[in-house]
Copies of this chain bind each other. A is one copy, B any other.
C-alpha cells in the first residue's frame, strides 16, 4: 500500500536532521488521558517497547476535564492508584435542582444523591485533568522502570517510558492490510514519520484558537502551561521513522491519526454555546459545594460542579446565536461570563476573586465511522467521540477506551492471545460511544432549552422531564453498568463458543458482560476483609474465581472443589497448564481466587492444593491473599458475598473475569471442559522456551 500523505506534510518545512529508524511494539500518538492510560496499562502489563508522543510542549496544569465517574475510580483502584486519586479528588455529595419561581427568582426544587446508592464502592468525584495526567505519568515511569530482578532476566529492557513532547506525526506508511503485526519483517510494520519540533516551533501558535471541531480554548490561562518552558527540545528540526507493530491514535477531536488512515468523525454541531469558569466563589448562593443544575426563567442555565480545594466550576449557557453563527469572541471574556452567571443566579450573587481557568465551547456530537484500521491502528478517546463536557463523560469514556484496548494488545504482544481478540475493541466500545452521544444530545437539549415556568407554559422543559432524563442518565454515566456484547471474550448465554455453555443460574445476581461487582470476603491467612474488586486488580491476568461452596460441611462441595483444583493443576486440558509459559509462576497468566462459604475457622491453609496458593519466584514464597471465605469479620461485619452474587453455598460455581474486571463466564464448578473450552477459543500455546 502506498504511503498515505499527512495533511501537514513535511515537504513544506526545511529538514535538517534525520534520526535512524527505530522499532516499537506500540506507538501512542497523543498524551491526553486516553493516551496516558494506554501507556500506563501497557507498562503495567509488561509491554515496555512503547513510545508515546505529543505535539504539545508541556502537560496540562489546570482546568479542562474533571469528572471521574464510579467506574473510572474502580479502574484507578484496579491499577493501584485509587487511594491517591481519591485523596485528591472532591467527591460529590448531592445534586440540587434549582428552578425559576414566579417572581423571577430561583429556588431549590429538589435534591438527589450525586451517585446512585449501591452502584459502586466509589462515588462520582472531580479532579482536574492535569492532576490525573500527573499521576498517570508517574506510574508510567514507575511501571516501566526495570526492577532489579526483572533487569537480570530481561537484558534488552528499555529505559522508563516517558512522554516525548513537541513531537508530531508527519507521515504514515501502512503495510499491506493482511500483514501480521507480529511478523518480524520490517515490511510488515506501520511506519510513522515523527517530526521533533524545535523550541521555536513548539509554541502556542500551533493551537488554533477557533478550531473546526467547535471547541476553542482561551490562551489566557493555558499560557500558564504553555509558558512553562519546555526542556530539551532540539535546536534543529529532526525527522525519524518509527516502525510500529501497532499504533494508538489518542490525539483528540482533531486527530491526525484518524485522518491519516482515512477515517472520519461524523455528526453534527448545535447552535448552543456554553462558557466555563473555574475558581473559588465568594457568594451567598448556598449550594456551591453541591452539584447544581440551575435553570433561570429567562437568562439560561448554569451547571455547578464542586471541585477539589474549594474550587467550583460553572458551566454557563450563552445567549443563543443565529443558526450557523458563533458568539463574538469579545463577548466571551471571564468578566462577561461571570455577569451572565449572576443574571442566571439572581437574586444570589457570585464573585470570583481569582479565575483559575475559563473556556467556551459549542455543543456538538460526533462519532468516528471505524475505531481502527485493520486492528493495527486504533483510535481512542476524543478521536472517536466528541460531545458536550458538562456530564464529565469525556475523560471517563476516553480512559475506559484505552483501558479496554490495552490489556488485549498486551496479551497479543506477549503471545498469550490470538490477535483476533483485538476486533472486540471496536465491538465493545462503539455501541457505548453511540449510546453516550445519544444521551448527550438529549441532555444538551434539556440543558440548553428554555425551561417551563411553573404553571405558565408547557412549551419549555419541565422539571419532571429534566430530572427523569438526568436520573436515566445517571446510571449510564456511572460507567458501572457498561455491558459488553457476546464475543470470544464474553460468553453470554447463547454465545458462539465451542463447547462453552454459560450457566448464569449458578450466580443469579451476577451478569456476564458487565464488570464484576465488588463484595467483601475475609482472607483465611490474615483474617482481614478484602473486596472482590481488589482481588481482580488490573495486572493483565485472567482471574478464575472459584466459589467452592461450603466445603467444610458439604461433602459434594468438597469433592467438586478438590476435583477442580486437581484438574487445574494436573490435567493436560487445564488452561493454567496449557497457557502458562514454562518456568513462569502458575498464576502469571491465569490467577485463581478461591472463595468458600464455610466458616473461616473451620479451614486451614495447609488443606488447599498448591495451585490455589501458589509459590512465587525462586525463593518459594507463598501467596497469602488467594483463599477467602464468606464470613464475619472483626470490624467490618459480614460481606454476604454468596447471597449478593446469588450463589448457592451448597453448589458453588466458577466465574471467569477478564483482566479489565468484566465477567466472561459463569459455569458449574464441575464444568472443567467448558472452562477449558472458553480459554481455548482465543488463547495461544506458549512458544517453547529453553530457560
What residues make up the interface of A, taking CB atoms closer than 8 Å to B? 83, 87, 91, 93-94, 111, 113-115, 117, 123, 280, 282-284, 286, 288-290, 306, 310, 351, 353-354, 523, 525-528, 601, 604-606, 619-622, 624, 634-635
Contacts and interface: CB of A to CB of B under 8 A. Distances in A.
Contacts of A606: 284, 286
A601 B93 CA distance: 13
A351 B615 CA distance: 14
Majority-rule SS of A interface residues: loop
B87 A83 contact: yes
Given A115-B634, A310-B624, 15 more contacts: A83-B83, A93-B634, A113-B635, A117-B635, A282-B620, A282-B622, A284-B606, A286-B525, A286-B605, A288-B525, A289-B523, A290-B525, A290-B526, A306-B526, A354-B619
A126 to B, nearest CB: 12
Contacts of A526: 93-94, 289-290, 306
11 contacts: A83-B83, A91-B528, A93-B526, A94-B526, A114-B634, A280-B619, A282-B621, A282-B622, A284-B606, A288-B624, A354-B619
Number of copies: 2
Contacts of A620: 282, 351, 353
Contacts of A283: 622
A292 to B, nearest CB: 12
B113 A621 contact: no
A639 to B, nearest CB: 15
Contacts of A94: 526-527, 634
Contacts of A284: 606
Contact of A290 (B351, B527, B622): B527
Contacts of A115: 634-635
A613 to B, nearest CB: 11
A306 B280 CA distance: 46
A289 B286 CA distance: 50
A302 to B, nearest CB: 18
Contacts of A288: 525, 624
Contacts of A601: 111
Contacts of A306: 526
Contacts of A351: 620
Contacts of A93: 523, 526-528, 634
Contacts of A634: 93-94, 113-115, 117
Nearest to A522: B93
A89 to B, nearest CB: 12
Contacts of A523: 93, 289
